Structure 1
C-alpha cells in the first residue's frame, strides 16, 4: 500500500549499479575545412581603421571626423572626434554651429597634426 502524500507510479526504473561507458554516436561526414569561428558570429576585436584605410597617394590619412546629422523637421546633432582623444557632441541648431567652429579651431591646436610651417622650417 502506498503512502497518502505520494502519487502511485506505474513503473520505477532500476537505479544504475555502477559507471558504464557512454554510447558512441555515428561518425559524421566531414564536409569542407574546419573553421576557426562559427559562421555568422562577429569577431570581437575589430581592425584598426587607421591601418585598414589606405593612406592617400601623398601619405596623408584622416585623424579627425565631424559627423552632422540634420534630418528634415528634427533637431540636428553633431559629433566631433579626433585621434588625440577629443570626443564632443552637440544637439540643437546653435550648438551644432558652435561645434563646427570648435572643430575647425581644433585643427590648429591638435598635437597629432603636423604643421606645414614646422615641416618647411625643418
Structure 2
C-alpha cells in the first residue's frame, strides 16, 4: 500500500531552547582587535589644497518678464557699477569684458605669474 507523505513535521517540539547566559565583558585596553600597528584610528582633517583660483569680479544681468533689464558689474579693485535699461545693460556688458583685460589687479597678477614661471 502506498501511504501519502506526511504534510507536517512529526518531530516533537516540547523542549525549549536554553536561556541566554550573561557573559562578562573583558575590559577594553589598548587598540581594538584587528587594528594594525602604526595605523591612526582618528579621523584626520581633509588636507586638500585649492588650485589658487578665486573670484575677482562678476557681471549680473536681470531681465524680468515685462520689466526693465538691470545689470551690476563688480570687481575686487573697487569697481561697482549698476545700470538700468536695455541699451545701458549692453554697454555695461561690453565695458565689463574690456575691464577684465585692463583691471590693475588682474594685470599685476598675470605679470607676477609670468615672472615666477620664467
TM-score, with length taken from structure 1: 0.49
Runs of 4+ aligned residues of structure 1 deviating over 4 Å after TM superposition are: none
Q: Which has the larger radius of gyration?
A: 2
Q: More helix per residue: 1 or 2?
A: 2
The correspondence for 1:94, drawn from 72, 87, 98, is 87
Equivalent in the alignment of 2:72 = 79
The runs of 5 or more residues in structure 1 that have no matched partner are 1-55
Equivalent in the alignment of 1:60 = 53
Within 5 Å, which residues of 2 pair with 1:21-36?
Answer: none
Equivalent in the alignment of 1:120 = 114
Structure 1 Cα separation of the partners of residues 50 and 115 of structure 2: 23
RMSD of aligned Cα (Å): 1.8
The runs of 5 or more residues in structure 2 that have no matched partner are 1-48
Structure 1 Cα separation of the partners of residues 90 and 58 of structure 2: 15
Deviations 1:52-106 (A, max 9, x none): xxxx932110010111111111000001011111111111111101101100100
TM-score, with length taken from structure 2: 0.50
